[in-house]
Every structure is written in structure tokens, then in C-alpha cells.
Chain A
Amino acid sequence: MTAIDIPEADRVTLEFEALAQRQARRRGFLLALPAWIYLIVFFAVPFGIVVVYSFATRTSRGGVALSDWNLASYERLGEELVRNVLIRSLGLALLTTVICLVVAYPFAYFMTTLSARVRNLMLVFVMIPFWTNFLVRNYAWRLILAEDGPWNTTAEAFGIDTVIDWIIDLPGWIAPDFLVGWLVDVPEPLFTKLAVILGLVYSFLPFMILPLYASIERIDGALLEASRDLYANARQSFVRVLLPLSMPGVVAGSILVFVPSLGAYVTPDILGGGKEVLLGSYIVTQFGTARNFPFGASLSVVLMVVMLTATIGYFRSGGRNL
């Protein structure tokens, strides 16, 4: 090979590589195109419309005037009634998330200790509810929780009333008011907050279990043994090693439960009987009976912003567990 050949060969190689790169990029773009079109048509455009509506004005006949842009719909978010709906929904979603976390964590951990076969069987059990329609499952709960239904009769057979009366009589520092508030609904939970929580936890528990399981399963068991070898007791080993290493699963599961709980509409309606107004049904009311599209739109924007913030926050924190 002569000295002149080398740059020539290099130039050809470079050109070829650039071409290959351009082709790869074009192929990637084409492959992603259906997903992009889907997202634009069914997410970006509708969301854009919602945002636009949220700045519009309600006409006296319940229509929308796409003029007179203003912030009136957002100002209404500060009203006490609206604020209460928001706070109640946030509280309920938070409570659902915490209960799911507390129930799912030991379960997910327990699964990782089983043999591969039993473990896969358990995973199937976790996912079986998805085979039935969401609405059907909620109505099934309605039957279970109804007066003289299985829940009610079982609870009474165990003399739950006496137990609850006994707890209510305890001094306030042992049985605070909010706890009593939940307890009194235990014998007949249908159409109470308790039923809504039960329904939400039931519906979204798999979304907590699966990412938790995935992240715990990935942790090297030798790390837990090492911590015990280094004088950690079982609790310290959990707090210092297992929990921090499973944090991606905790965060992913929490987002997956919190976000749909916050916007839940079906479960509060069917199991809560719509008694407690929550964000989901409040938005439906605005688009339905109240015919206040701009206000409904502003509530939806708030919901979307909370969800997007949570999701972006998760990906920013480096989680890749969804």
C-alpha cells in the first residue's frame, strides 16, 4: 500500500459509514412512525384541545366560546369546594398507594424466595384479574360488599360490631377520630370511602407487585447475606440494603398506582356510590350535567400535569423499571 492510498481509503470508509448511519436513522424513523402517529392523533391533539378549552369561556347555553380567552377556569380551582375535591382525591390516591406498597412489598419479596415454577404460577395468579373486565370486577365487589353479602355476613359472624364498639370506647389517643371514622364502616362498607379504598387497592395492587417483584428479584441475595454477616439484624438489613436497592421498583409501582387512583372514576362511582365527590367524577360532571367544558378542561389539565410531573420525575431519577 502506498502513502497516497491511505487517505483515499479512509475517505471512502468515512463516506460509507455516514451513508450507513443515515440509512439506520431513516429506518429507525420509519419503524417509530406508527407509534408517533398514534401518540399525536390520540394524545397530543386531544390534550392540545383540552388545554385550549381550559382558557375558553362557557356560553350561557352551556356551549364553548372560542374567544374571550381568560383564566377564570383556573381561578375556580381555588374555591373551597373545588379545593376539597382535589385534596380528598390526592389523599385517597396517596392512601391507596401506601396500602398497596405495604401489602405488595412482603408479597413481592416472598415471591423471590420461591422456586422458579411456583414463582411463575404466582405471577399468573397476580395477573388473572386482568382477564376479566374492569367494570365487571367492580360490580362483583359491589355484590361482595353489599348488605347481607359475604363480607357483611362474615364480619357479623365474627362479632365485628362488638369489637368496633370496644375500640370506639378506647381513649382518643389510642383510637383517634379518623381511625374510628374508617372503622364504623367496616361491617357495611358499600358506598363508603372504605369500599372505594378497597376497590382501588384491589384494582391496582398488581401494578405495585410487578415492578416491585422485578426490582427485588434483580438484587443479588449475597448482598443481604453480607449485611447479616456484617452484624445487621433483619430490620437493619431491610432498611440499609434491601429497601434502597429496590427503590426503583418502589417508585415505579407507586407512580403506577398513584396516577390511576388520582383520576379514578369507575371505582368511586360503583363502590362509593358517588357519595364522596372525587376528581374523576367531578370532571365527568363538568362535561356532563354541568356543561362547563372550560372548567372540566382546567381540572383535566391539573390532573395531567400531576401525572406528567410524577412520570418525568421518575425517569429523571434514573428509574427504568416500568
Chain B
Amino acid sequence: MTAAVELTGITKRFGDVVAVDAVDLVIDDGQFFAMLGPSGCGKTTTLRMIAGLDFPTEGSLKIFGDEVGTLPPNKRPVNTVFQSYALFPHMNVLDNVAFGLRMQGVNKGDARAKAAQAIDLVRLAGMETRKPSQMSGGQQQRVALARALVNEPKVLLLDEPLGALDLKLRQEMQGELKRLQQELGVSFVFVTHDQEEALTMSDRIAVMDQGRILQVGSPEEIYEHPANRFVADFIGQTNLLEGTVEDSSTVCLANGARVQASSDRPVGTAVAVSLRPERAHIAATEAVEDRPSVEGVVDRVTYLGNARVYTVRLDWMEVEVREENRPGAALHEPGAPVSIWWDPGAVWVVGDE
């Protein structure tokens, strides 16, 4: 099967700034694909190169097997939902949505009929004659979506489309986008800096930093087995316990404690043991036996309603532990000496690379 989008050695430089650095990436057809990374890591630039709004400095870019390196955007079978929506302010909703079809030479009547269907698809029926300025942010977002989808692109590109919406609307639109993607079966390439959004919506995620792709995988792979320190830290919350590899199943922590953690890195490599707060448990010092653990003192407790987060001060760092709020669960006051323990399989060793 040919990939929907295939980037090979793609680099984009703006003067001295390397925005995208030798990226290799394959996006399969029909996937909900997220590009995730902190602001300024090159997500938008990558998306713009796929759309044809920027051209790569180096590398090969294929869409369904066709090299599109320097094709202008109007010659590519992809459409974009812009971060700012970029709706044409001088046209009403119907003409905005019909624009792409009209430009492709579809006659006015047919274009408008199809546009009306697309408007229906995003649940805006009845708003055809409104101007974009007369609509809320969420509605404008839907118009932008309809305007792109009506062209039946082979790949839909979305640049932080939900960034400007408030939380409730954002969650609603997340569901909506997922529904549309599954109904239409086309690839969505979705740019976001929100790791939770990426985890809940995507089939696959590419994690980017400083113009490079650090890891590509399913949400589970990325969360459970982060490729390196940056990914482990960026996706969800985690505690990184610094140490060195002692043998294939043991890491020696900074305080000299040995913990069971398997890795295939050479002996003596500086690594960190990633311990997610919800995988760690807290207990009075005497209660722990036979399990990997570290000892410390409770510094503060944050009450979240459904859970408590204990911040525990070790000799050399702070560790967060999340305990679900169950009836009968033991409580620990600030200042109490405690042990933090976990199941041997709960940790994951990450390095710099």
C-alpha cells in the first residue's frame, strides 16, 4: 500500500534557522495522525510543506506516491484547516465552502449543492447566508472544516484547529473530528501541542522537538514506552529518577539505591527511570517489603477530588505520587516519612537519545 504522505530527509531552513531538520515520516492512508511537540518545534512548517505553502530546502515529499516537492498548493490533493480559520470575510458561509469547487471548475449550481451538503455534515445547516464575522469561534471552525472537506481531499491537514476554543467546545470538537475522520476514511494530519488531545484522538503520533521527529507510534507506545527522556517528560506527567545502567535488569539510582528496571543499554550509560505518578504507590516506611522502592518525606498533598497527589521529597529530588481517592485509603500528612514503591514492570528506562 502506498503511503498517503511520505517525507524523506526533509529539511527546511529560514536563513540560519533550521525549522525542520532531516525529517523522515510515513503517514498511512486513513489514519488520524497527530504531530505533537512544543511551540516552535517545526510542526506548522512541516504541515505547510505538505500543503505546498512552503517548499522544502532539501528532501523528497510524496503524496500517494507522487513527488510534489515544488508543486503549488492548488495542484495538490490536500486541503488545510488553518489555525486562524482564514475564512474569506467578504463571502458568506455558502460561498466560502463552495470556493474550492468553483476554483476547480465545478459550475455554480453543483458547487453550491455540494457545499450545502458539507455545511450539513458539520451541523451548520441554516447558516449558509451568514458572514464569518457573524459566527462564533466554534462555528467558524466548522465552516473552515466544511470548506476543506467539501473538496474531498486525499489528506486533510489541520493546524492546531482547536487551539482557540474553550475547553468544553474543544472536547466537543475533538469527538466531532474523530467522527468525521472515521466516516470519511481519509487521513487527517493534525498538529497540536496538547499531548492529551493527541493521545485521545490519534491512531498514530509523531513527537517532534527542535525540528526533529523523536518518536512515531501509537498513543500506547508513546505513553508506555517513550523513546527518550524528552518524550517521557512531554507526554503525560512522569518522575525521572536519574541513574546509570548497572546490568540488563538493574539501574543504580543517584542515591546508590538499586532498582529493578530492564534496558538494553550498555553498562554505565546515564539513564533515567521513568515512574509515572499513577504507577507509583505510597506507604508508611515499614509497610513495604520485597518491591522496588525509595524512601522520602511527604512535602505537600494536593487534593484533586478523585485523587490525591503527594509530593514526596527524596534526598536528591522530588517525586509525585498519585493515589486514587478510595474509601479506606491510608492518608499521609506532610512531614510523614514514607516509602514510594511500584511494581517491577511499572517503570521504563529512558536515555538522552
Task: Report A's interface with B, CB cutoff 8 A.
Answer: 220, 222-223, 225-233, 236, 240-241, 244-245
Known contacts: A226-B80, A229-B73, A229-B79. The answer to whether A220 contacts B103 by CB under 8 A is: no
Q: Is the CB of B151 within 8 A of A230?
A: yes
19 CB-based A-B contacts, threshold 8 Å: A220-B86, A222-B86, A223-B86, A225-B73, A225-B86, A226-B86, A226-B87, A227-B88, A229-B53, A229-B73, A229-B74, A229-B79, A229-B80, A230-B79, A230-B103, A230-B148, A231-B104, A231-B151, A244-B90
Task: Chain B residues near A232: list those with CB within 8 A.
Answer: 74, 99, 103
Q: How far is the CA of A86 from the CA of B80 in the complex (A)?
A: 53
- Min Cβ gap B79→A in Å is 6
Residue of A222, A230, A231, A245 touching B90 (CB-CB under 8 A):
A245
Q: Is the CB of A228 within 8 A of B90?
A: no
Interface range on chain B (Cβ under 8 Å from partner)? 20 to 34
Q: How far is the CA of A33 from the CA of B84 in the complex (A)?
A: 45
Task: Chain B residues near A229: list those with CB within 8 A.
Answer: 51-53, 73-74, 79-80, 148
Task: Chain B residues near A245: list those with CB within 8 A.
Answer: 89-90
Which 8 interchain pairs have the tightest Cβ spacing? A230-B100, A222-B86, A226-B86, A231-B103, A228-B73, A231-B74, A232-B103, A229-B73
Of all chain B residues, which has the CB nearest A230?
B100
Q: Is the CB of B99 within 8 A of A228?
A: no
Task: Chain A residues near B52: list those with CB within 8 A.
Answer: 228-229
User: Looking at A223, A230, A236, which has the most chain B CB atoms within 10 Å of its CB?
Assistant: A230
Task: Chain A residues near B204: list those with CB within 8 A.
Answer: none
Q: How far is the CA of A236 from the CA of B73 in the complex (A)?
A: 13
Of all chain A residues, which has the CB nearest B51?
A229
Task: Chain B residues near A233: list those with CB within 8 A.
Answer: 72, 74, 103
Q: Does B82 contact A (CB under 8 A)?
A: yes
Q: How far is the CA of A227 from the CA of B74 in the complex (A)?
A: 8
Task: Chain A residues near B100: list those with CB within 8 A.
Answer: 230-231
Known contacts: A230-B79, A231-B103, A231-B104. The answer to whether A222 contacts B89 by CB under 8 A is: no
Q: Which B residues, 59 to 83, have Cβ-Cβ distances below 8 Å to chain A?
A: 72-74, 79-80, 82
Task: Chain A residues near B151: list those with CB within 8 A.
Answer: 230-231
Q: How far is the CA of A85 from the CA of B329 in the complex (A)?
A: 100
- Min Cβ gap B292→A in Å is 52
Task: Chain A residues near B87: list those with CB within 8 A.
Answer: 226
Q: How far is the CA of A199 from the CA of B53 in the complex (A)?
A: 42
Q: How far is the CA of A25 from the CA of B194 in the complex (A)?
A: 52
- Min Cβ gap B123→A in Å is 21
Known contacts: A232-B74, A244-B90, A245-B89. The answer to whether A227 contacts B84 by CB under 8 A is: no
User: Looking at A220, A229, A245, which has the most chain B CB atoms within 10 Å of its CB?
Assistant: A229
Task: Chain B residues near A225: list those with CB within 8 A.
Answer: 53, 73, 82, 86
Q: How far is the CA of A223 from the CA of B84 in the complex (A)?
A: 10
Q: Does B147 contact A (CB under 8 A)?
A: yes
Q: Which B residues, 89 to 107, have Cβ-Cβ distances below 8 Å to chain A?
A: 89-90, 99-100, 103-104
- Min Cβ gap A223→B in Å is 5
Q: How far is the CA of A182 from the CA of B89 in the complex (A)?
A: 42
Task: Chain B residues near A228: list those with CB within 8 A.
Answer: 52-53, 72-74
Of all chain B residues, which has the CB nearest A228?
B73
Of all chain B residues, which has the CB nearest A245?
B90
Q: How far is the CA of A223 from the CA of B53 in the complex (A)?
A: 12
Q: Is the CB of A230 within 8 A of B82?
A: no
Task: Chain A residues near B79: list those with CB within 8 A.
Answer: 229-230
Q: Is the CB of B73 within 8 A of A241?
A: no
- Min Cβ gap B95→A in Å is 10
- Min Cβ gap A233→B in Å is 6
Q: How far is the CA of A230 from the CA of B95 in the complex (A)?
A: 12
Q: Is the CB of B82 within 8 A of A222?
A: yes
Task: Chain A residues near B82: list those with CB within 8 A.
Answer: 222, 225-226
Task: Chain B residues near A231: list those with CB within 8 A.
Answer: 74, 100, 103-104, 151
User: Looking at A226, A232, A240, which has the most chain B CB atoms within 10 Å of its CB?
Assistant: A226
Q: Is the CB of A236 within 8 A of B80?
A: no
